[in-house]
Amino acid sequence: MSLAANLGYPRFGAHRELKRALESYWSGKISERDLLNTGRQLRLTHWQLQRDAGIDVIPSNDFSFYDQVLDTSAMVGAIPARYAHLDTTPLDTYFAMARGLQKNALDISAMEMTKWFDTNYHYIVPEIELGQTFQITSTKVLDEFLEARQVGIHTRPVLLGPVSYLLLSKSVTVDSHIVEAGNPSTLTNPLAALTNLLPVYTEILSRLAAAGADWVQIDEPCLVLDLDEAAHHAYAAAYDQLSRVKGIQIMLATYFGGLGDNLAVAVGLPVAGLHIDLARAPQQLPTVLAQFPADKMLSLGVINGRNIWRTDLDAAFTTVQHAAATLGTDRLQIAPSCSLMFSPHDLALETELDAELRSWLAFARQKLDEVVLLKRALDEGLDAVTEPFAASRTAIERRRSSSRTQNPQVRARVEAVNDMMFHRQSDYPARKTRQAQQFALPPLPTTTIGSFPQTTEVRAQRTAFNKGTLSLSDYHAFLKTEIERTIRLQEEIGLDVLVHGEFERTDMVEYFGEQLTGIAFTQHGWVQSYGSRGVRPPIIYGDVARPAPMTVDWSVYAQSLTDRPVKGMLTGPVTILEWSFVRDDQPHAATCQQIALAVRDEVLDLENAGIGVIQIDEPALREGLPLRRADWAEYLQWAVDCFRLAASGVRDETQIHTHMCYAEFNDILEAIARMDADVISIEASRSKLELLEAFQRYEYPNSVGPGVYDIHSPRIPTQEEIETLILRTTGVLSLNQIWINPDCGLKTRHWEEVIPALERMVSAAKQAREILLSGSGANT
């Protein structure tokens, strides 16, 4: 008999209970006990839900109050020195690592945050010092296993594997959390810490075995990346040691891609089972089966854990049968491709989606049912699942033939795209000269990334409007008041290029998706991005077009209030694509080009309405990069082309900005340069501007705004701190290249944090400007 397994379940709760509890705790409205009780109730609910669905292998320790990588750092004692002696509870130390801490005389920055592989989830980057020592400082994985056992549910605990943990880490100096990137004398290879780390993992496994755990799921997602010989040796050494722990078997979980040239390493490790992703890499199954040892269990990730489309059960069952014919049913587990944390909770909550579209979808709860159906089909025969398989077949066929998925006008327009549409009128130096004459900005011009705080009042007014208790005219009057107040505030602070604040927007993708055809939205389809931050991705089910202008009226109104430039704020085509659940019946490149044409129309309408600075955000460009370098060129070609298609129709005098954040851009700078944005703003403050050296080495030609204010932390930076970052920037880039801005939009922050932070940022820019223009040491 096969087993129905799951690798992880969404943490937020069906109604975002975790988000609300976290934010209430951080604001002092509930106690630590209240927060812990919420977490306990969510875990219990999710374990029972999976058991009742028929899942045989239920995960524990897949829950987190912030991030599973941060949980691992807490477990192994990799707590940077700046947090190690805080006079706080362990939970508050944990949150300080994620968010920073500014309280009384304490002023401690947060750890760096970056994207988890090619997802929109963010993890907290571990910091590994030379000679790093480890010890068990959190027993969360054991505690949650015992918690489930107390209610009669036997779980398979989940751990992030030691090799992936180290490969995802950053090396730091012993006496500072600042990494001096590019200076080998201060850097170590994080894998050098493996010898010290393994005894902690060994002890954890021993304790789990003693508590009654018979299997543990150890996630090693880095096995789908390009790895060198040192990493291969690290895997061999790690699992040679971990496999010696008696009484517990290891299911090694890989996901987000195929094993490729790491297959021999993976199947050769002395573990009891291997999970493979057959949604992202279905082509790997024959090769895996050909090399698979006779003593191992194979977990088949045939249900896509990262999308919301109903599974073609016939196709998935064919895959399962193929594996069963080789290995037999007793050596098979049927599972999602990865944790279901990347999928919304439950389609049953979406009462406002039309019946046809609903029939095409499956959220996390429904994916559990699909796993169980495949297990039943394999163990009991297809006659046992005739009705649900027929329903799946009908939904797949109706979606394939639906007229809702194709728009002939959109397809004709795509066919008419020509090479001239991908190029600006002049090269960057000529544009820069014209823009300098147009805007007359000072050196080190200051701006923000776009959004300002979405206060309780802003959200309440939006909710009232959406419920019909506030009229359109009253809602627009409120928004205009907020915009004018924000324009005046920016003028008072002294910012050079302003924004309107985006108070009319719930989300930078959702707002645009609601005004484009071929896209649907959910009520409860929330997915965690980091900590308490959730997003509700649009569902791109058909061809995309823009029926009417989306942002022009608000931008024009804001510009009418001031003589300073006000940026038109747009989300770029790649980000709209990557932060949506995208149709899987045509290449992503085709869908992205449709979106690019819609954004291009908006850009031209903004320009024609008198908006001279237009920002097209592309924070997801790096996120969409394939995990294997061999696949990069194809992706970067169409992704950059889509940005250029959206941005290149404007006059030379119109200044195009873009924004990117929380990812590693060093290795794609050539592609970023090919985007040919006049100004790019980037996240840089948490890493203390590590990225700048890459821009210097590449000799990046256009203007750059490295973030000097970390907006993902409530901490307010000092003026001196910002000034130091600015002066460091001028030692790397020329003075006439640099813009001064925060890391990202300010939507999630509070006004009492934002105002002093921006005041200090502007004052620091002015002070740095005076120093540099007086002749002390800047590049020019």
> Which sequence positions are flagged as catalytic?
712
Please give, one letter per residue, the 3-state secondary structure of 490-507.
HHHHCCCCECCECCCCCC
- Cα–Cα–Cα angle for 549, 529, 300, rounded to 5 degrees: 115
Q: What is the SS3 assignment for 546?
A: coil
How far, CA to CA in Å, does 235 sit from each of 191, 209, 239, 285?
10, 22, 6, 22
> What is the spatial distance between Cα 55 and Cα 357, in angstroms, rounded to a whole number?
27
The structure tokens listed for 189 are 């290879």
> What is the spatial distance between Cα 577 and Cα 585, in angstroms, rounded to a whole number?
14
C-beta of residue 116 within 8 angstroms of C-beta of residue 103: no
- Cα–Cα–Cα angle for 694, 119, 509, rounded to 5 degrees: 95
The structure tokens listed for 81 are 């020195």
How far, CA to CA in Å, does 198 sit from each of 124, 142, 207?
21, 17, 14
Smallest CA-to-CA distance from 511 within 477, 550, 484, 479 is with 550
C-beta of residue 579 within 8 angstroms of C-beta of residue 529: no
> What is the spatial distance between Cα 166 and Cα 77, in angstroms, rounded to a whole number?
13
159: left (phi over 0), alpha (psi -120 to 50) or beta: beta
Sign of CA dihedral 401, 402, 403, 404: negative
How far, CA to CA in Å, does 273 sit from each of 220, 295, 299, 379, 481?
13, 9, 7, 20, 60
User: How crowded is the C-beta side of 196, counted as CA atoms within 13 Å?
Assistant: 16
> What is the spatial distance between Cα 90 and Cα 143, in angstroms, rounded to a whole number?
15
Residue pointed to by tokens 């011009």: 445
The structure tokens listed for 733 are 């880039």
| Residue type (1 letter), 346 | D
C-beta of residue 716 within 8 angstroms of C-beta of residue 424: no
Cα Rg of the chain, angstroms: 26
> What is the spatial distance between Cα 688 and Cα 414, in angstroms, rounded to a whole number?
42
Q: Which residues contact 583 (CB under 8 A, 6 or more apart)?
A: 405, 540, 541, 542, 591
